[in-house]
Amino acid sequence: MDKAVSGFSKLSKEGKIEWIANRYFSEPTEAISLLKNYWNNDEKLQKLHDDFIENTITNFYLPLGIAPNFLINDKFYTVPMAIEESSVVAAAAKAAKFWSERGGFKATVLNTEKIGQVHFIFKGTSSKLEKFFNENKKLFFEETESITKNMQKRGGGILDIVLNDKTDLLPDYYQLHATFETKDSMGANFINSCLEQFAKTLKRLAQENDAFTEEEKNPQVVMSILSNYVPNCIVRAEVSCKVEELSDGKKVNAQEFAEKFVRAVQIAEVEPYRAVTHNKGIMNGIDAVVLATGNDFRAVEAGIHAYASKSGKYSSLSHAKIEDGIFTFWMEIPLALGTVGGLTSLHPLVKFALQMLENPSAKELMQIVAVVGLAQNFAALRSLTTTGIQEGHMKMHLGNIINQFEASDEERVMIVNHFENNAVSHSAVVDYIENLRKVKS
């Protein structure tokens, strides 16, 4: 069947659903029912969600979990985490409790500078363009004042604009490279609006410049866009304690554990195959909080992974050492986050999450997010270097397997009891359920 469609966006929500159901499903009524089951009963709230994106047909839910006991800079936080992966929230909460009894996490925002660029082609001499830019630089600031005035009142705005010659990379390629302070907003719309005005100013001033040839009077602006790579918008998170304090009462030799932990981090620093999985664990924590607080986790991911490659080789984001009997574990990452604007003022659960965090500033949220990433990494490495990652993870995953096989309440109790003292694997659980049902039948 031809599945091409014309004018899909103009169909009503019901019309879109019926088109999908009738073309892709053997039981259209069941498909329609499934989608409608995930609609919110509150029509006003559903309309709000429908307007977030285009061609909305239903809601796609993720669990919102809570990790309490995060002691950060001597203040306790209960952290919201939106994620679908088993054991992530439990691991974060466990690490938070562990470090709350050892002085907690320390976090510091080192810088909050954000970046945007106007990419353009200039067919002329670099020296003429540089002279032109230096003579007109103040006009780029002046002609964006209508955009920046409100941001300036909050202490933000354009920090600087420089001309970058990139002709060694591409013929005739230049940039207007601008840095910004956006305070408590992530600032994407603000930055992009400034950049588009820079592009207009560049083209107008070039046209008016008598020193330029006709070709030089027409620089070709390719694009004006912010960068999600923010190497000067950095937050540091760390924990430390005496090595002997790493013992939690279990049969774990603290010194041996500390040394093995540091070695595991060093492996991630030098081995990219390990570093990717190592950093993925960090992002389990970071993305979950970023998503719960209405920020752009794709932008955060891209920027952080670029930062992990800043040396020219992909490496661990976190670091660890033992020095004079003190264990220290830390991380510095770029984070561009906001607590005003966008979904932060629209999505009811985002507003709930921010209120639960006591309405943090953007800097405070940066600290919280970085700490959760570090906590997640600590929990993963602690499991990897002691019991192994699968023991705890598969026990958390047991519930998903039970749900997959639609176990009854009676079966659920029996399955959980059985695997209290038996290794959990998907095949082992399936075998047990099948045998259980054979006996019952």
Q: Who contacts 336 (Cβ-Cβ below 8 Å, separation ≥6)?
A: 114, 186, 187, 228, 230, 233, 299, 300, 303
CATH class of 64-107+233-387: alpha beta
- Angstrom CA distances, 371 to 64, 307, 332, 340, stand at 18, 17, 10, 21
- Angstrom CA distances, 94 to 165, 296, 375, stand at 50, 26, 9
Residue 41 has pLDDT above 60, yes or no: yes
| Nearest CA among 84, 46, 50 for reference residue 64 | 84
| Nearest CA among 219, 377, 258, 292 for reference residue 62 | 292
Residue 167 has pLDDT above 60, yes or no: yes
Question: In residues, how long is the chain?
Answer: 441
Question: Which range is least confidently modeled, 196-210, 257-271, 404-418?
Answer: 404-418
Question: Pick the residue with more confidence: 394 or 367?
Answer: 367
* CB contact at 8 A, 353 and 81: no
Q: What is the pLDDT of residue 410?
A: 83
How far is the C-alpha of 191 from the C-alpha of 179, rounded, in Å?
Answer: 9
Other beta carbons within 10 Å of 142: 10
In one-letter notation, the amino acid at residue 41 is N
Q: What is the pLDDT of residue 307?
A: 98
Fold of 114-227: Alpha-Beta Plaits (3.30.70)
Q: What is the pLDDT of residue 424?
A: 78
Task: Give the catalytic positions in this structure.
Answer: 85, 280, 296, 393
DSSP E strand stretches across 335-383: none
Q: Who contacts 69 (Cβ-Cβ below 8 Å, separation ≥6)?
A: 76, 78, 93, 96, 97, 100
372 CA to centre of own chain: 12
Provide the mean pLDDT of the chain: 94
Tell me the percentage of the chain whose pLDDT exceeds 70: 96
| Residue 413 tokens, joined | 């109790």
Question: Which range is least confidently modeled, 111-115, 232-236, 261-265, 391-395?
Answer: 391-395
Q: What is the pLDDT of residue 153?
A: 95
122 CA to centre of own chain: 36
| Nearest CA among 239, 236, 230 for reference residue 367 | 236
pLDDT in tens, 235-270: 999 999 999 999 876 677 999 999 999 999 999 999
CA-based angle 269:274:276, to the nearest 5? 90
How far is the C-alpha of 370 from the C-alpha of 335, rounded, in Å?
Answer: 8
Give the residue carrying structure tokens 């981090």: 265
pLDDT band at 157 (very low <50, low <70, confident <90, very high): very high
How far is the C-alpha of 199 from the C-alpha of 194, rounded, in Å?
Answer: 9
